[in-house]
Amino acid sequence: MKITSLFIMAAMTYSCSAKKIAVSSADFILENQIEKRLPLYADQKESLSKDVDKFLNDQKVYTKELISVITDIELDVKKIDLQYDHLQELYKKIAFNFSDLMSKYMSVLDEKQQKDFNRILKEENHKLAGKKNEVLDKTKENFERLLGNLKTNQEKILESYKNHLLQRYELRLKRRQALHDRFAEILNMELSKDGKTKYLSEAFKEYVNTYPDHPMNKEIIKKLIPTLSLAQKETFESKIKEVKEIINYYIEANY
């Protein structure tokens, strides 16, 4: 989800002033990401800009809840399941709302736009398939963004889950393709704009809602926690503080 990625990347990468600039530009960033996938005409882009602003303002109620959740995060093996599930539920709420936004603009694509849209999705899937063998390195990078450099024993823990990570990645690719096939099916139906919007939104939400959770995702975190050094715990606390700072910038921003 792009809005979540914005919070995390801004916290991990930018200075204080740059964080504010990044968050204040969230509408432009989100519009840009949508337009990379949806080949919209000028009048559609103008309408999208207003809807993106509304979407960002409407999600603030969930990000306020997110602050409460991440404030209570503890590096405690016994609390991982509850914390993980709570974050997933918040993600779903925002993802569902984003699905409605995307569906509205997908439903108005004409035949030429649909052809370009299908080509873009096909290219994306091909690119993702080519990155399958990078999944372990990407997982290590993600943990290092939160914890700092991993120790050798921690890298070995992640390496022991390589097959699991590959299987999850392959599942993601298959599910994406199935979702995109469903999009094409809906867009080819003889339906009104509202009818297509409804079916597209339902397809999006089913995709999010039926993503098979796997206990190994939580298991990886639980195995890493007892190995964390004091420096890594302090880095984690610092990153959480920065994410909260970014969220507060977002809540204060006017779109």
User: What pLDDT, in 10s, does the model give residues 78-129?
Assistant: 999 999 999 989 999 999 999 999 999 999 999 999 999 999 999 999 999 9
Q: What is the pLDDT of residue 7?
A: 47
**Predicted confidence (pLDDT) at residue 1 exceeds the cutoff of 70:** no
User: What pLDDT, in 10s, does the model give residues 136-180?
Assistant: 999 999 999 999 999 999 999 999 999 999 999 999 999 999 999
Tokens 């639980």 appear where?
222
Q: What is the pLDDT of residue 162?
A: 96
User: What pLDDT, in 10s, does the model give residues 209-235?
Assistant: 888 777 888 999 999 999 999 999 999
**Distance separating alpha carbons of residues 99 and 209, to the nearest angstrom:** 12
**Distance separating alpha carbons of residues 142 and 136, to the nearest angstrom:** 10
Among the listed residues 200, 217, 255, the one whose alpha carbon sits nearest the alpha carbon of residue 58: 255
Indicate the Cα dihedral angle 35, 60, 53, 120, nearest 10°: 10
